[in-house]
Structure 1
Amino acid sequence: MPLAETSSGTLAYSDQGTGPVVVLLHATLHDRTDYTDVAAALARRYRVIAVDWPGHGDSPAPAQPLSAVLLADVLEQFVSVLELRDAVVVGNSVGGFAACRLALAQPSRVAGLVLVNGSGFTPWTPASRAFCALMGHPGTIGAVFRGLVPLYMQATTVKDRDVAARVLARARTRAGRQTAASLWRSFPDPAADLRPLAGGITSPTLITWGARDRTLRPSWGRAMHHAISDSAYVEFDTGHLPFTSDLQGWLGVVEPFLERVLARD
């Protein structure tokens, strides 16, 4: 398992295949193994790199509290360490926020974006801010995730259920609760709101959305589509991870996009 050293800590990642680069980024309390089947399929044509965020999977926890903005900073450092350019970055949930931030900060490193029920475009209200503040307590994570994970996963496949079980197991640990709480506290930070910056995203973007997710509304995905000028939007009858619920359907949309933006000379 390769490791990358950044100023924000050590990142574990997988690296398979050769060719144009695809980077895979996961959600809070998830890990890179969410993408095992995706990576296996794409590695036939591409170099596929799947990252464990700090404090997730095989990556140790960072010295400072995690936040959405910190993950975006870590991603910038990671692609610099690996000298990646012209990559398609696939980001699920908070991974989608980090992917967009990279496209804004270092557009030469991003050939395209695939956002999967991504964050950063939430219309904040007093109620949603209060919910994030509540979720910012580790004790709340332990209690609420038992109901929250089924709500957003909407598991229908064996892979869905495996992912949900891993997330719930992490939420039962002290480290997992602290990690999730720290990230949830950070979500309403103005620096994590991409809406005012969306016009600066010039990378071709494919937005894929699991419409049965009960935590991230499809209307937010459509708003993301309208905000990013060069974007397409596709809904799936799935939960938060269309690529584990409907792998072939999701690949059927994503692979033509990759072919277009990563076309070899």
Structure 2
Amino acid sequence: MPTVPTRAGEVAYEIKGDGVPIVMLHATLHDRRDYEVVATHFAEKYKAISVDWPWHCDSKGTPGRESLGAAGFADVLEDVVVGLKLGPAIFVGNSVGGFAAARLAITHPDQVRGLVLVNSGGFFDWTPWSRLLTRPLGSAVVSRFIMPRLVPRYMSPQTDHDQEITRRVAAIAGTAGGASIAAALWRSFLHPSHDLRSRAKDLKAPVLLAWGTRDPIFPKAAGPMAQKYIPGSQLEYFDTGHVVFSSKPAEFYGAVDPFIESIVADNKNPA
């Protein structure tokens, strides 16, 4: 598996196809295999690039830096984009992957043609209640107990691929290493660096929000919150859990393909 150097160690990636690059970024404790079917579909027309975050799957990460949070993953994405010499790309980001892609579009707009944000972090109106529920998961001990039970809830599996993802992630969440990584990410979600709401006005790339309505982590109500902050964004709902593209791939393509095609066409025929 090829890797690219980043400030958090070597990051593994996989490329299929050729053309306009589409970079796919996964959720916490998940990995690039979430996108297997999606990557094959995109590779029919584009260069589909799926990435493993540090300490996930084939990306080992720098020892001792497992406490890297969401903002740290966004930093890693900056290094990936530079290391792969992609030029302007389209990003599909799920959960923390969506946050990292959105932050890149704000801080480095020349690198981003468009965004597909799937049940994405970064634009959530945190209430005292949601903070109270989230804070305990910042403990590795609590995370190791709760996360293996939470994964089937937020996945709401509908396909064989969903079931495979659920088994894989729940198993990792029950290990000491997985719990430590998950806890670091949960802690970072409450940090000001994870809040993009005040900066979202600087997000100029076209944005499609793909929202699974069965997700208890970022529920249906979180979709309009994100749309409220992101100027001109489109919002599509899906009857799925957290990983929309695995549960309803055909419906996902039905929304995403025209969105990507319009971006590519606009870049070929600038006004």
Q: Which TM bucket (shorter chain)?
A: over 0.9
Equivalence map 1:79-228=2 (5 Å): 79-228=81-230
Where has structure 1 moved over 3 Å in runs of 4 or more?
Answer: none
Percent of aligned positions that are identical: 45
- Alpha-carbon distance, 1:125 to partner: 2.4
Q: Secondary structure of 1:131's partner?
A: helix
Which range moves more in the overlay, 111-120 or 223-232?
Answer: 223-232
Q: Secondary structure of 1:218's partner?
A: coil
Q: Distance in 1 between matches of 2:188 and 2:229?
A: 22
- Alpha-carbon distance, 1:58 to partner: 0.7
Q: Distance in 1 between matches of 2:47 and 2:257?
A: 14
Partners of 1:151 and 1:215 within 8 A in 2: no
- Alpha-carbon distance, 1:61 to partner: 3.0
Partners of 1:34 and 1:244 within 8 A in 2: yes
Query: Residue 217 of structure 1 aligns to which amino acid in structure 2?
Result: P
TM-score (norm 1): 0.97
Deviations 1:204-240 (A, max 9, x none): 0000000111221212111111211121000001111
Query: What is aligned with 1:17?
Result: 17
**Structure 1: stretches of 5+ with no match in the other structure:** none
Q: Secondary structure of 1:207's partner?
A: strand
Query: What is aligned with 2:255?
Result: 253
- Alpha-carbon distance, 1:82 to partner: 1.0
Query: What is aligned with 1:37?
Result: 37
- Alpha-carbon distance, 1:84 to partner: 1.5
**Structure 2: stretches of 5+ with no match in the other structure:** none
Query: What is aligned with 1:58?
Result: 58
**What number of residue pairs does the alignment pair up?**
265
Q: Secondary structure of 2:210's partner?
A: strand
Query: Residue 230 of structure 1 aligns to which amino acid in structure 2?
Result: G
- Alpha-carbon distance, 1:167 to partner: 0.4
Q: Secondary structure of 2:147's partner?
A: helix
Q: Distance in 2 between matches of 1:46 and 1:21?
A: 6
Which range moves more in the overlay, 69-78 or 141-150?
Answer: 141-150
- Alpha-carbon distance, 1:138 to partner: 1.2
